[in-house]
């Protein structure tokens, strides 16, 4: 039997493409790459990064700031918003399974968030090739995977909140608090905890590795020589302790697993209660 | 077609439907009436598998929650308030066509009979249509599928008198072996249409009478 997954997926992608948010978001990332080229960022050399790798690292750092909060705020309303506006009452009076509806929305959002950032990154690589700048393809592949992994992770968290929240306001507030917590538990607070409570470094590293933002931040620099001033204390510690190969596998798979776990629990909750 | 035995539904300790037992059968055109808060919409949502409830219910001999997908292939529904769908009318047509395997032409013809030219509005988002146009489209989608069960929650609320008349005409001529449940506040309007009247009050059934369409007005 048709679960309605494909129909919801196609419909939701079309709806996302029509929204102003999507175009502002796409232009922002595309424009950012263009501005970096125009400003000659590939020709400058600061703390060891040069050429397109410098542009890509900067792009990833900007993505780390923008993507999680964009994904959270733009997705967290999807299920609870449909519930409040009676869209869900009507759409789910049609032969669409609850899971088809939930995962259709999930995957459509993943595609519409990931594709613009990936195209921006790919555009930078293509422009680099055309203008004879060395393109670090290993870095390109790693960054593509890291972006996909982080987006999936935050989508899972958002869809979970959206499925369990009773109102859009509550969903947005929860998403914002989670983002703040994850940002706060980057280097600064981690190191503070370590010094204040005299925890052993392994424990602090363990805490850091639970934070998908910290994992992303560290993984962005994993292919470069570890320098404390560039990486921040937590990343430096992590890369000094764990082998690079293992860390790359972890940095890509952990956020995906985390997103999937949240997604599965969100879907389970959605399937087991009143939908309106 | 719908067998309900001891159905109860509670929201935050408030029992909205109380131990309801009733059957709805093939060929019945039922007026489901009652004041706001009587439990009419809750009952419809239970039938659609959207609420978890206590007690037993079978829709087309299946469980409305576990077998939602199969049941809803045979159920047409018109909500009380048209939802603010962002998709265009054209997308909505394709969406219904894919999900219900009903040719788009069926929906288009039904909309035409209610005075709505779908072809002129294909690129318009559904939520930007007027209230009456939305309602006509939703009715066309529900009836065009020729479902075995038709659930209509105040279907004529946004319609002008002429469209209302056409709707009742369409409902009167709808497949005779179907079950139709019409929730309405305006009994006078649907009196010529129904052959059974079920009145709900505070979650209970207070009136359940089989009637001859012409003499419903006396109830």
pLDDT tens-place string over residues B163-173? 888 888 888 88
User: Measuring CA to CA, which residue among A190, A242, A194 is closest to residue A214?
Assistant: A190
Structural domains of chain B, ranges and CATH numbers in brackets: 2-79+142-218 (3.40.50.300)
- Residue A162 near residue A106, CB atoms below 8 Å: no
d(Cα B105, Cα B141) in Å, to the nearest integer?
A: 11
| Spatial separation of the C-alpha atoms in residues B76 and B84, rounded to whole Å | 19
Query: Which residues form the domain of A148?
Result: 5-272
**If you average pLDDT over residues B123-138, what whole number do you get?**
92
Alpha-carbon distance of A104 to A11, in angstroms, equals 9
| pTM metric for this prediction | 0.90
Tell me B139's DSSP state: H
Count of domains observed in chain A: 1
- Residue A107 parent element (H or E): helix A98-130
Question: pLDDT value at position A226?
Answer: 60
Residue A7 pLDDT grade (very low, low, confident, very high; cuts 50, 70, 90): very high
pLDDT (0 to 100) of residue A230: 57
Instruction: Report ipTM for this prediction.
Output: 0.92
Q: Which residues of A191-201 are buried (b: 16+ CB within 10 A; e: fewer)?
A: beebeeeeeee
CB-based contact, B6 to chain A, within 8 Å: no
Is residue B30 helix, strand or coil? strand
Instruction: Categorize the per-residue pLDDT at A191 as very low, low, confident or very high, splitting at 50, 70 and 90.
Output: low
**Which percentage of chain A shows pLDDT scores above 70?**
89
| Contact between residue A211 and residue A255 where contact means Cβ atoms under 8 Å apart | no
User: What phi, psi does B51 have (nearest 5°)?
Assistant: -120, 150
Distance, CA of A172 to CA of A78 (rounded, Å) = 11
- The rounded distance, in Å, linking the Cα atoms of A118 and A134 is 19
**Among A146-160, B84-98, B131-145, B149-163, which stretch is predicted with the lowest mean pLDDT?**
B149-163
Of A132 and B76, the one with more pLDDT: B76
pLDDT at B213 over 90: no
Q: Average per-residue pLDDT in chain A? A: 87
Angle at A247 between CA A246 and CA A253, to 5 degrees: 90
Lowest mean pLDDT among A25-39, A51-65, A234-248, B183-197: A234-248
pLDDT in tens, A29-52: 889 888 888 876 666 665 556 678
Which among A83, A90, A91 is the top mutation candidate for probing chain B, defined by the most B β-carbons within 10 Å of its own β-carbon?
A90
Tell me how far apart the alpha carbons of residues A276 and A82 are, in angstroms, rounded to a whole number: 9
Q: What is the mean pLDDT of residues B59-83?
A: 93
Measured in whole angstroms, the distance separating CA B105 from the mean position of its chain's CA atoms is 22
pLDDT value, residue A228? 56
Kindly list the strands in the beta sheet with B2-11, ordered across the sheet, starting from the edge strand earlier in the chain.
Answer: B14-24, B2-11, B54-59
Q: In chain A, which residues touch B (CB < 8 A)?
A: 1-4, 6-7, 11, 14-15, 18, 85-87, 89-98, 272-276
State chain B's mean pLDDT as an integer. 90
Q: Give the chain A residue nearest B85 (alpha carbons).
A: A87
The yes-or-no verdict on residue B218 having pLDDT over 70 is: no
Question: Which of B197 and A222 is assigned the larger pLDDT?
Answer: B197
């Amino acid at each position: 039997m048709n679960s309605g997954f494909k129909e919801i997926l196609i419909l939701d992608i079309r709806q996302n493409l029509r929204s102003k948010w999507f175009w502002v978001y796409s232009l922002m990332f595309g424009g950012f790459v263009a501005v970096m080229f125009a400003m000659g960022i590939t020709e400058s050399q600061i703390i060891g990064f040069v050429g397109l790798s410098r542009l890509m690292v900067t792009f990833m750092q900007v993505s780390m700031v923008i993507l999680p909060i964009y994904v959270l705020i733009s997705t967290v309303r999807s299920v609870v918003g449909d519930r409040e506006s009676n869209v869900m009452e009507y759409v789910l009076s049609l032969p669409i399974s609850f899971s088809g509806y939930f995962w259709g929305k999930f995957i459509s959002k993943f595609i519409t968030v990931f594709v613009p950032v990936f195209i921006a990154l790919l555009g930078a690589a293509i422009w680099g090739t055309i203008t004879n700048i060395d393109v670090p393809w290993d870095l390109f592949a790693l960054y593509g995977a890291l972006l996909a992994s982080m987006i999936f992770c935050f989508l899972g968290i958002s869809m979970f909140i959206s499925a369990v929240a009773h109102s859009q306001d509550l969903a947005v507030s929860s998403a914002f608090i989670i983002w703040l917590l994850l940002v706060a538990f980057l280097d600064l607070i981690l190191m503070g905890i370590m010094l204040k409570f005299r925890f052993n470094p392994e424990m602090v590293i363990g805490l850091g590795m639970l934070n998908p933002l910290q994992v992303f931040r560290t993984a962005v620099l994993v292919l470069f020589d570890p320098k404390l001033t560039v990486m921040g204390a937590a990343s430096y510690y992590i890369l000094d302790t764990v082998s690079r190969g293992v860390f790359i596998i972890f940095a890509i798979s952990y956020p995906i697993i985390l997103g999937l776990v949240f997604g599965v629990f969100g879907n389970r909750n959605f399937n087991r209660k009143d939908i309106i | 077609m719908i067998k309900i035995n001891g159905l109860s539904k509670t929201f935050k300790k408030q029992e909205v439907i109380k131990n309801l037992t009733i059957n709805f059968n093939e060929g019945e055109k039922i007026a489901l009436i009652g004041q706001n808060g009587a439990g009419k919409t809750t009952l419809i949502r239970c039938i659609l598998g959207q609420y978890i409830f206590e007690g037993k219910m079978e829709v087309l001999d299946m469980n409305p929650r576990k077998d939602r997908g199969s049941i809803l292939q045979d159920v047409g529904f018109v909500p009380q308030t048209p939802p603010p769908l962002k998709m265009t009318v054209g997308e909505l047509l394709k969406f219904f066509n894919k999900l219900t395997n009903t040719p788009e032409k069926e929906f288009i013809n039904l909309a035409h009979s209610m005075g709505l030219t779908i072809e002129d509005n294909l690129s318009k988002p559904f939520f930007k249509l007027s209230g009456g146009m939305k309602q006509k489209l939703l009715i066309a989608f529900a009836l065009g599928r020729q479902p075995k069960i038709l659930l209509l929650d105040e279907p004529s609320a946004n319609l002008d008198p002429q469209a209302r008349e056409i709707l009742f005409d369409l409902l009167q001529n709808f497949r005779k072996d179907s079950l139709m449940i019409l929730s309405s506040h305006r009994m006078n309007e649907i009196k010529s249409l129904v052959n059974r009247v079920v009145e709900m009050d505070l979650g209970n059934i207070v009136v359940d009478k089989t009637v001859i369409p012409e003499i419903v007005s006396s109830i």
